């Protein structure tokens, strides 16, 4: 009896290795001697695009869950798990630059001219990620006199505009936070209790300063002045009108209600019902932080590689990237929350009705 080969899916066919491994075509070898490091440059950037595709896949699965009027608590675990995956991918994005940095500036010059006018600014997938997260056009650092999208094809611009027309993750998270019901249950006023706790905390701090025999009068005056500035910072958060003014000026992104809910989650995160929401907020901060870290690491790498030269796409090189790294953040309101935390021992005690809803309660059926 003749032997037949294995049936079913073949490894190479499943992964489309024929296409994948035939997708690296260095330009330098066409007109002369091939630049050895161009292959590394191509593969690194292709790997980035594959990871960008996976990030879009994960974020794209999260957005519909937030779009529902009621977020199923059972789905919160899925959201957290998928954002955790995004965070781990981002760590790889940063680490990949270490491999790219094994290429020296002279190695890069061997093929750099072949890249003009191509540029990483033309990565549509990365722009889609930024838009899906919530980076707005007005918040971008201009690439030049023209917006970055002028470097794209009509089809690419249409794709970006279609995503921009949909609610972003930061907008959907804001809607979710605004629906959290624990801020005003049956007359319970979270802000009233919080303001009282803050006032007591600040007064205690002032008393400590006044009674500190190790400080001179001028040092006491200086520290009390700093404490007064801290109090003003709390008032900016507490004052709804001032918060709205800052939001109109672009200094705040989340509504006052959403910010209140996020603060409530942070303060009372030890309750079981708030542990996953707290983890979600921490992951959003992680996503923002890691993209910022990736941009900053990219700035250093570009400066190291091309010095003060302009980028291949016509940008101001590392200067543009440095500005974008500082500005292209989305969840800055969540970064600011620790400013307004108070220690656990000073937290107002929640009413039983609220506290019970935040716990896991089981009746003894015996």
Residue 188 falls within a domain, yes or no?
A: yes
Residue 333 falls within a domain, yes or no?
A: yes
User: Structural domain of residue 227, as residue ranges?
Assistant: 34-357
Residue 7 falls within a domain, yes or no?
A: no
CATH code, 181: 1.20.58.480
Residue 13 falls within a domain, yes or no?
A: no
Residue 14 falls within a domain, yes or no?
A: no
Q: Cα–Cα distance between 191 and 175 in angstroms, integer?
A: 19
Residue 237 falls within a domain, yes or no?
A: yes
Cβ count within 10 A of residue 278: 17
Q: Report the pLDDT value the prediction gives residue 141, as an integer from 0 to 100.
A: 67
Residue 26 falls within a domain, yes or no?
A: no
Tokens of 139: 């918040």
Residue 364 falls within a domain, yes or no?
A: no
Q: What domain count does the chain have?
A: 1
The 3 state secondary structure assigned to the chain is CCCCCCCCCCHHHHCCHHHHCCCCCCCHHHCCCCCCCHHHHHHHHHHHHHHHHHHHHHHHHHHHHHHCCCCCHHHHHHHHHHHHHHHHHHHHHHHHHHHHCCCCHHHHHCCHHHHCCCCHHHCHHHHHHHHHHCCCHHHCCCCCCCCHHHHCCHHHHHHHHHHHCCCCHHHHHHHHHHCCHHHCCCCCCHHHHHHHHHHHHHHHHHHHHHCCCCCCHHHHHHHHHHHHHHHHHHHHHHCHHHHHHHHHCCCCCCCHHHHHHHHHHHHCCCCHHHHHHHHHHHHHHHHHHHHHHHHHHHHHHHHHHHCCCCCCCCCCCHHHHHHHHHHCCCCHHHHHHHHHCCCHHHCCCCCHHHHHHCCCCCCCCC
Q: Report the pLDDT value the prediction gives residue 26, as an integer from 0 to 100.
A: 93
Q: Using an 8 Å Cβ cutoff, are 317 and 306 in contact? A: yes
Q: What is the pLDDT along the chain (366 residues), one digit of tens a residue?
A: 555 556 788 999 999 999 999 999 999 988 778 999 999 999 999 999 999 999 999 999 999 999 887 787 778 999 999 999 999 999 999 999 999 999 999 999 999 888 887 777 788 999 999 999 999 887 776 654 445 667 788 899 999 999 999 999 999 999 999 988 877 777 777 888 888 898 888 899 899 999 999 999 999 999 999 989 888 888 888 888 888 898 888 888 999 999 999 999 999 999 999 999 999 999 999 999 999 999 888 888 888 887 766 554 444 455 666 666 667 789 999 999 988 898 888 888 888 888 888 886 544 333
């Amino acid at each position: 009896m003749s032997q037949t080969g294995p049936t079913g899916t073949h490894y190479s066919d499943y992964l489309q290795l024929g296409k994948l491994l035939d997708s690296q075509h260095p330009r330098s070898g066409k007109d002369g001697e091939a630049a050895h490091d161009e292959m590394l440059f191509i593969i690194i950037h292709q790997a980035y695009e594959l990871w960008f595709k996976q990030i879009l896949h994960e974020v794209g699965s999260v957005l519909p869950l937030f779009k529902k009027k009621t977020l199923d608590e059972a789905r919160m675990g899925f959201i957290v798990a998928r954002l955790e995956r995004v965070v781990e991918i981002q760590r790889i994005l940063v680490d990949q630059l270490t491999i790219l940095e094994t290429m020296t500036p002279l190695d890069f010059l061997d093929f750099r001219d072949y890249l003009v006018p191509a540029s990483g600014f033309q990565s549509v997938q990365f722009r889609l990620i930024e838009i899906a997260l919530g980076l707005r056009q007005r918040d971008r650092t201009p690439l030049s006199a023209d917006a970055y999208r002028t470097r794209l094809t009509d089809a690419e611009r249409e794709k970006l505009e279609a995503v921009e027309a949909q609610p972003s993750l930061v907008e959907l998270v804001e809607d979710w936070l605004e629906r959290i019901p624990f801020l005003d249950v049956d007359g319970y006023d979270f802000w009233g209790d919080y303001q009282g706790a803050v006032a007591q905390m600040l007064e205690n701090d002032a008393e400590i300063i006044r009674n500190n025999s190790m400080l001179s009068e001028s040092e006491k005056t200086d520290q009390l002045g700093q404490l007064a500035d801290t109090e003003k910072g709390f008032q900016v958060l507490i004052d709804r009108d001032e918060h709205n003014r800052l939001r109109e000026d672009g200094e705040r992104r989340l509504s006052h209600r959403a910010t209140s809910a996020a603060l409530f989650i942070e303060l009372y995160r030890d309750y079981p019902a708030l542990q996953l929401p707290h983890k979600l907020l921490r992951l959003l901060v992680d996503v923002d932080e890691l993209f910022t870290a990736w941009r900053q690491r990219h700035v250093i790498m570009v400066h190291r590689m091309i010095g003060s030269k302009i980028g291949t796409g016509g940008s101001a090189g590392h200067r543009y990237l440095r500005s974008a790294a500082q500005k292209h953040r989305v969840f800055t309101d969540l970064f600011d929350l620790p400013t307004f935390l108070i220690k656990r021992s000073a937290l107002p005690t929640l009413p039983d009705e609220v506290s019970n809803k935040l716990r896991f309660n089981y009746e003894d059926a015996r």
